[in-house]
Amino acid sequence: MPKQFRPLAGKSVLAHSVAVFESHARCAEIVVAVAPGQKAQAMDCLGALNESVVLVEGGDDRSSSVRAAVAASTQSRVLIHDAARPLLTQPVIDAVLEGLEIHDGVAPAVPVADALARVGEDGVEPVDRTDLWRTQTPQGFKRDALMDAISKSGDRSFPDEISMARAAGCGLGLVPGDEANFKLTWPADFDRAEILLGAGSTGVETVTVTGMGYDVHRLEPGEGMALCGVRIAAPLALVGHSDADAGLHAITDALLGAAGLGDIGEHFPPTDDRWAGADSAIFLQHAVQIAAEAGARPVHCDVTLICERPKIGPHKAAMKARVAEILGLSPARVNIKATTTEKLGFTGRGEGLAAEAVVTCRLDGRAP
């Protein structure tokens, strides 16, 4: 049976992939390309989702199938997804759509973490993985750019649409992907997908957990401060052992809490001179790494900054982008809020600034 029609956690692989787009607020139409003679099988696998899709007959290879599907679409933005990636999430779709505000075409990607080697006539030769990324789908394009690339490609076959667009001279970019958005290729991949979807035969279920963080730092006259990873010009400074970024400290504690890994003080003691004046992004990056090793991956972050000054509004977008970058999330999955205490307490008197954070993580099968 073709893998896109195989059952996975109660429905077909194809249905999982289609359902993510069907539930996305900005998805206007879904076109599914199937091999000749497979329309009836596809309809059976889609069930009620048939009302949400247009089925077209594809070709002998990926490129010809994509050409057929694009010809049946009408939207100004086109996202092309491999149905064999059933664990796609809406944040990845959001990231692709945001990337199309800048580029003609974008692909979600994750960095290569493993050491690489090439086997040739001279034996095993290490390969530098710096700047190497693993691209995923959906690969998104502005329609005009994609149609131009399709026209220029002729009958040539390409491994993916980014390769085709690059050959046509399109302006391309990468956006954050998701390790869970892997392609079903080997038999073990189905077992892994079953576990992540919470229906594995091992009895291990996917669990969502939440951690909370809170931090306070004193304000004094100065030349600005770092807050949620963004430098703010102001006649004030936050006082602390590191750069005193209360926002990143609260997020770090929240992530460590979700992963059951203690608190920021245990990992970066304020008595350790190594962290004097340190960029607090180091603390959060470390938390992301050890949380991942424990099987916890952040999926959402909500931050509240409590202060009378400085004004947070002008910096919210930059803060969201920086926090999202460190956590490996789409900016749409990060929320930054600000409030005052109506002149009450130490924050109301302008003596200090407080931050609260809530981080939601998904635990995979490695977690206890």
Q: Confidence class of residue 187 from pLDDT cuts 50, 70 and 90?
A: confident
Residue at a domain's end among 196, 226, 252: 196
The span from the CA of 319 to the CA of 357, in Å, is 13
Domain membership of residue 368 (yes or no) is: no
In this structure, are 20 and 63 located in the same domain?
yes
Domain of residue 357, CATH code: 3.30.1330.50
Q: Is the pLDDT of residue 197 over 50?
A: yes
| Mean predicted confidence (pLDDT) in 205-231 | 89
Give residue 135's Cα distance to chain centre. Answer: 13
| Mean predicted confidence (pLDDT) in 344-361 | 92
pLDDT per position as a tens digit, 246-257: 999 999 999 999
| Residue-range definition of the domain harbouring residue 73 | 3-196
Q: How many domains does the chain have?
A: 2
In this structure, are 162 and 219 located in the same domain?
no
| Mean predicted confidence (pLDDT) in 282-290 | 92
Q: Confidence class of residue 330 from pLDDT cuts 50, 70 and 90?
A: confident
Query: What b/e string do you get for 176-206 counting C-beta neighbours within 10 Å, with b at 16 or more?
Result: bbbebbbbbeeeeebebbbbbbeebeeebeb
Q: Confidence class of residue 198 from pLDDT cuts 50, 70 and 90?
A: low
The span from the CA of 138 to the CA of 30, in Å, is 13
Domain of residue 147, CATH code: 3.90.550.10
Tell me the whole-structure pTM to 2 decimals. Answer: 0.55
**Torsion angle, CA of 274/278/282/286, rounded to 10 degrees?**
40
Average pLDDT, the chain: 89
For position 64, what pLDDT does the model report?
Answer: 87
Q: Is the pLDDT of residue 2 over 70?
A: yes
In this structure, are 29 and 148 located in the same domain?
yes
| Mean predicted confidence (pLDDT) in 129-146 | 93
| Mean predicted confidence (pLDDT) in 94-114 | 94
Q: Confidence class of residue 92 from pLDDT cuts 50, 70 and 90?
A: very high
Q: Confidence class of residue 8 from pLDDT cuts 50, 70 and 90?
A: confident
pLDDT per position as a tens digit, 27-69: 999 999 999 899 999 999 998 898 889 999 988 888 889 989 9
Percent of the chain with pLDDT over 90: 58
In this structure, are 315 and 229 located in the same domain?
yes
Q: Other C-beta atoms within 10 Å of 339: how many?
A: 13
| Mean predicted confidence (pLDDT) in 164-182 | 93
If we measure between CA atoms, which residue out of 244, 245, 237 comes closest to residue 220?
A: 237
Domain membership of residue 216 (yes or no) is: yes
For position 85, what pLDDT does the model report?
Answer: 95
Give 27's contacts (C-beta < 8 A, 6+ positions apart): 21, 93
Domain membership of residue 332 (yes or no) is: yes
Q: Note the maximum CA span of the chain.
A: 74
Q: Other C-beta atoms within 10 Å of 329: how many?
A: 23
- The conformational region for residue 270 under phi > 0 = left, psi -120 to 50 = alpha, else beta, is alpha
In this structure, are 235 and 97 located in the same domain?
no
Q: Confidence class of residue 77 from pLDDT cuts 50, 70 and 90?
A: very high
The span from the CA of 218 to the CA of 197, in Å, is 45
Q: Is the pLDDT of residue 188 over 50?
A: yes
